[in-house]
A and B are shown apart, each in its own frame.
Chain A
Amino acid sequence: MSEERVGVYVCHCGSNIASVVNVEDVAVWAKEELADQGVVVARDYKFMCSSLGQELIQDDIKEHGLTRVVVAACSPHLHEKTFRTACNRAGLNPFLCEMVSVREQVSWVHTDKELATNKAKAMIAGGVERVVHHQPLEPLHVPINPATLVVGGGIAGIQAALEIADSGFPVYLVEREPTIGGHMAQFDKTFPTLDCAACILTPKMVDAGAHPNITLLTWSEVERVDGFVGNFTVTVRKKARYVREDVCTGCGICIEKCPVKVLDQNFEAGLGYRKAVYRPFPQAVPKYPVIDTENCTYFKRGKCKACQIFCPTQPNSIDFEQKDQFIQIQVGNIILATGYDLFDPRRIPQYGYGRLANVFTSLEFERLCNAAGPTNGDIVLRDGVTKPKSVGIIHCVGSRDRRYNNYCSGICCMQSLKFAHLVKERTGADVYNFYIDMRTAYKDYDEFYQKVLEEGVHFVRGRVAEVTDAARKPGEEGKLIIQVEDTFIGKQRRIPVDMVILSAALQPRADANEVAQKFGIACSTKGWFIEKHPKLDPVATMTEGIYVAGCAQGPKDIPSTVAQGAAAAARVLGRIQMQELALEPIRASVIEEKCSGCRICNDMCPFNAIIFHEDRMVTEINPALCQGCGTCVAACPSNAITGTQFSTEQIMAQIEGLLMFNVEGELIREMAYA
């Protein structure tokens, strides 16, 4: 006979649970059959999470002197906090409350009512068996370092950094490229308002570069992250620039004098050149150039040094001896804003990119339009001089396709409309947009579509089958022929054009998985960072203290990117203001005497919470880092690790309860106090 006094509460969840599980029967059963396990009250109620439902528990705690509470309802993800708080209000330690998920794990996944009811009973029995082994716990309190790390200096990272810095707190902005700005810096105009991208972005870049609270670490990457929410220690590799930031004035003479021209695959999207010592674009922040050692003659052959010879500063700013530096910084919170990569359309050979000269990617086209780009903003064919008389723009290249990315990239329709407008405006060419569905949701976007319609752009509803130079009929010679079913008329059409633009998908960064692992957060199978809740917590992650913003979390346009950057900053500021953080005390801990020092658990922790003391040959778990996942508990061959609330005893007790019925629903084990 248990000494504890347990209350069991079975929720109907409207009809969510009650339509499949006979909740009344379950409650009656629990009171009768689980009395030996300590159950003194058992009730069912329409909505346990309502104030009235919570009061029911509170009143019972007081009246019946309950020492343990089991709530059979939705998932702990949603309402564990609600019921724990209710217990706390009635003076019961919140950790003496256990939730059993009879909605997600029973009513939503089963149809047979009788079996489902039995399963609910078994799960409640497990919950009861387990809760009696719970211990009262106190939350852990940790101080919060007010500094923040922002990784990625695209518009998302810049926005987040500025918000936090403007509120008076220090920010480290780490960017792997020589300059901040991200993709937006490559664009000419931005939809839907057609503001010049540089005009709205560069002021923010300058602000971020000059802000007293922002430490800009460009040409840098995060090597390692240790610690935990409130107290991260981050090691940043500052790659050698071979240019001394303390003396360089950014005059650009070195760039001018450098004899080596390099195809710029990055900023110019392969459409233009830079030098071996370079600054991606004139308004780069910071202004200091970088030497690209792979192409620099001096690094390759030990001769040249033109940049050094011509550098006018005293002392000389060019320093061929510079080495990578490792910097350690302390921060309380981290925002990941690493953005996206563009889908490589070479993967769809029938669109001809790379084979047919006048097929361009969307990013190439942005550079083509850009007044600071390789053609000074002239929209011309690959020969660099001919203006196209007709242009086809293909939507959904690599998006909405199970073979590549089965999601909609969200921005391509609008970006394609923007291109249509720019081509029309600057060349007067005939423009054809080929689309599956026109997706112009959100403010002023459909209006933009209307405007482009007015401009006389042709719209063909159909996903393009192929782009070819194989002429079949007169009029096709020397052209690119776009073959498509015009689905409105139900006929195949071959439309000859001079230029084709592929609106390629936005994809997760190629290294997204490694980055996620480094920061201990989760990635979708595709590689987008997973937010804590897709609707209600879109910028936090399952790892405390780590936030995501911008396209790193999923494809989106600039307005949403900026909104997320600001939202992540607001969440971080909220944290910083709290100064101290209460953490769930559900943690694993090592019983030192039992630890054999085998180190099996050491590399298993997804949160890097395990440290090994070489001197004593024992493992220790950092309680502030540990998230209580239990991986190590299960792994330890010596049973030396226990999890609070997840001790072997507790788990075994729960299993005992669960094994009441066999799969046919027959009672196979009478409940007896173990």
Chain B
Amino acid sequence: MKYTYYPGCSLEKNASAYHDSTMAVAAPLGMTFQEVEDWNCCGAVEMMAIDKMQAYALISRNLALAAAQTPPGQRMVAPCSACFLNLSKCDAHLTKDPSLAAKVNQALAAGGLHYTPGRVQTRHLLEAVVKDVGYAAVKAQVKRPLYGLKVAPYYGCLIVRPGFLEKFDDHEYPTSLDVLMRALGADVVDFPMKAHCCGGHMTQISEEVALGLIYRLLKNAADYGADVIATICPMCQLNLDAYQENVNKYFGTNFRIPILYFTQLMGLAFGMEPTRLGFGKEFIDAAPALNKIGVEPPERSKPERPSKDALPMPVMPEKE
């Protein structure tokens, strides 16, 4: 499957591990990426605070450039949740509000560009893997299953909310990454905070507030016994990884949970060399956790038999 690719600023340097691992797993999954030529920053969560016209124009330049090189029917993929949200939200708003679209196009025209709302559909990389490639195709590539590795799947906010275009997964309790990680052979832990916020740019505005938000996530993952947290967004990765030590200092804790991109875990399971997947760039060293990966699937501990007094639990619909 061919995609237009919008890497976004983070993937160039800070999240190069994400970029490298994405490129590495793309081939076996049959995904080919064609980068948007001369793309610019999507404005993150900052531009919209300054000027809405400029914010839309900034994003629309990317959409216009992408449209020029995207044949109809081909989708654009963004691995960063914030970029994904900005691109899809901008497109949705332009479609919904023709007068806004007219003004944006007036601005684009100053640069000799034009964008027809709805022309380029953007998917987050996770959505593309799950929906276009599918769990079965991923599973088929697994050569070294992540047996015994306890993974907390972390979605963050912007891929599951607010859900422009089509709703991809549940806003509150998404499961697509859970299923994907299970397909890799990993042991997925329940992680109630899986769609809660990593703090976004709050680290820059009030580190105290930000550390509180990050602490919640780390504590919850630790409480549920996670060895690693799988992430799908450079911002989430950065906050949970680079600030983990600060959290430990501030809260007197001792978390050492590596924060890995889901593509890195896919690459590992596909039997690829860790160096190809950008390992080593993380602040919290992933090696100790990855050493836990066993060759055999771990003994499933039998689910505890409820006591004879216990009342039955509500029946949940079958998933997967």
- With contact pairs A349-B170, A383-B307 given, residues A270 and B314 touching in the complex (Cβ less than 8 Å): yes
Task: Confirm or deny: A199 has a beta carbon within 8 angstroms of a beta carbon on chain B.
Answer: no
**Secondary structure of the B side of the interface?**
loop
Tell whether, in the assembled complex, residue B223 and residue A470 are in contact, meaning their CB atoms are under 8 Å apart.
Answer: yes
| Of A69-77, A287-295, A350-358, A565-573, the one touching chain B | A350-358
Tell whether, in the assembled complex, residue B216 and residue A472 are in contact, meaning their CB atoms are under 8 Å apart.
Answer: yes
**Cβ contact of A263, chosen from B223, B315, B316, cutoff 8 A:** B315
Q: Which A residues touch B314, using CB under 8 A?
A: 270, 346, 353-354, 361
Tell whether, in the assembled complex, residue A346 and residue B216 are in contact, meaning their CB atoms are under 8 Å apart.
Answer: no
Question: What count of chain A residues pass the 8 Å CB interface test?
Answer: 27
Q: Mark A375-389, 1 if CB is under 8 A from B, else 0.
A: 100001011110000
Q: Mark B286-320, 1 if CB is under 8 A from A, else 0.
A: 00000000000000000000010111111111000
Tell whether, in the assembled complex, residue B313 and residue A382 are in contact, meaning their CB atoms are under 8 Å apart.
Answer: yes
A272–B309 Cα gap in the complex (Å)? 11
Task: Confirm or deny: B250 has a beta carbon within 8 angstroms of a beta carbon on chain A.
Answer: no
**Cβ contact of B315, chosen from A270, A355, A471, cutoff 8 A:** A270
Q: Which A residues touch B216, using CB under 8 A?
A: 470, 472
**Cβ contact of A354, chosen from B172, B307, B311, B313, cutoff 8 A:** B313
Task: Confirm or deny: B219 has a beta carbon within 8 angstroms of a beta carbon on chain A.
Answer: yes
- With contact pairs A270-B314, A469-B192 given, residues A385 and B309 touching in the complex (Cβ less than 8 Å): yes
Task: Confirm or deny: B193 has a beta carbon within 8 angstroms of a beta carbon on chain A.
Answer: yes
Tell whether, in the assembled complex, residue B219 and residue A472 are in contact, meaning their CB atoms are under 8 Å apart.
Answer: yes
Tell whether, in the assembled complex, residue B172 and residue A349 are in contact, meaning their CB atoms are under 8 Å apart.
Answer: yes
**Cβ contact of B316, chosen from A346, A350, A380, cutoff 8 A:** A346
Task: Confirm or deny: A644 has a beta carbon within 8 angstroms of a beta carbon on chain B.
Answer: no
- With contact pairs A350-B172, A383-B307, A384-B307 given, residues A471 and B223 touching in the complex (Cβ less than 8 Å): yes
Q: Which A residues touch B193, using CB under 8 A?
A: 468, 470
- Return B9 CB to nearest CB of chain A, in Å: 32
Per the 8 Å Cβ criterion, residues 335-372 of A in contact with B are 346, 348-350, 353-355, 357, 361
**Cβ contact of B311, chosen from A361, A374, A468, cutoff 8 A:** A374
Tell whether, in the assembled complex, residue A271 and residue B309 are in contact, meaning their CB atoms are under 8 Å apart.
Answer: no
Task: Confirm or deny: B220 has a beta carbon within 8 angstroms of a beta carbon on chain A.
Answer: yes
Q: Which A residues touch B170, using CB under 8 A?
A: 349
A361–B314 Cα gap in the complex (Å)? 10
- Return B262 CB to nearest CB of chain A, in Å: 21
Task: Confirm or deny: A322 has a beta carbon within 8 angstroms of a beta carbon on chain B.
Answer: no
**Cβ contact of A271, chosen from B173, B311, B316, B317, cutoff 8 A:** B311
- With contact pairs A270-B315, A346-B316 given, residues A470 and B310 touching in the complex (Cβ less than 8 Å): no
**Cβ contact of A468, chosen from B192, B219, B310, B315, cutoff 8 A:** B192
**Cβ contact of A270, chosen from B172, B173, B192, B312, cutoff 8 A:** B312
Q: Which B residues touch A357, using CB under 8 A?
A: 313
Tell whether, in the assembled complex, residue B312 and residue A271 are in contact, meaning their CB atoms are under 8 Å apart.
Answer: yes
Q: Which B residues touch A469, using CB under 8 A?
A: 192
Task: Confirm or deny: A19 has a beta carbon within 8 angstroms of a beta carbon on chain B.
Answer: no
Q: Which A residues touch B316, using CB under 8 A?
A: 346, 354-355
A265–B216 Cα gap in the complex (Å)? 37
Q: Mark B162-206, 1 if CB is under 8 A from A, else 0.
A: 000000001011000000000000000010110000000000000
Q: Which B residues touch A375, using CB under 8 A?
A: 311
Q: Which A residues touch B317, using CB under 8 A?
A: 346
- Return B175 CB to nearest CB of chain A, in Å: 10
- Return A169 CB to nearest CB of chain B, in Å: 44
Tell whether, in the assembled complex, residue B220 and residue A470 are in contact, meaning their CB atoms are under 8 Å apart.
Answer: yes
A354–B170 Cα gap in the complex (Å)? 16
The closest CB in chain B to the CB of A268 belongs to B312
A384–B310 Cα gap in the complex (Å)? 4
- With contact pairs A354-B314, A471-B223 given, residues A349 and B307 touching in the complex (Cβ less than 8 Å): no
A468–B312 Cα gap in the complex (Å)? 20
B residues apposed to A, CB below 8 Å: 170, 172-173, 190, 192-193, 216, 219-220, 223, 307, 309-317
A residues apposed to B, CB below 8 Å: 263, 265, 270-273, 346, 348-350, 353-355, 357, 361, 374-375, 380, 382-385, 468-472
A-B pairs, top 6 by smallest CB distance, nearest first, are A384-B309, A349-B173, A349-B172, A354-B314, A470-B220, A470-B192
Instruction: Please name 27 pairs of A and B residues whose Cβ atoms are closer than 8 Å in the assembled complex, sorted by A.
Output: A270-B314, A272-B311, A272-B312, A273-B312, A349-B172, A349-B173, A350-B172, A354-B313, A354-B314, A354-B315, A355-B190, A374-B311, A375-B311, A380-B311, A382-B310, A382-B313, A383-B307, A383-B309, A384-B310, A384-B311, A385-B309, A468-B192, A468-B193, A470-B216, A470-B220, A471-B219, A471-B223
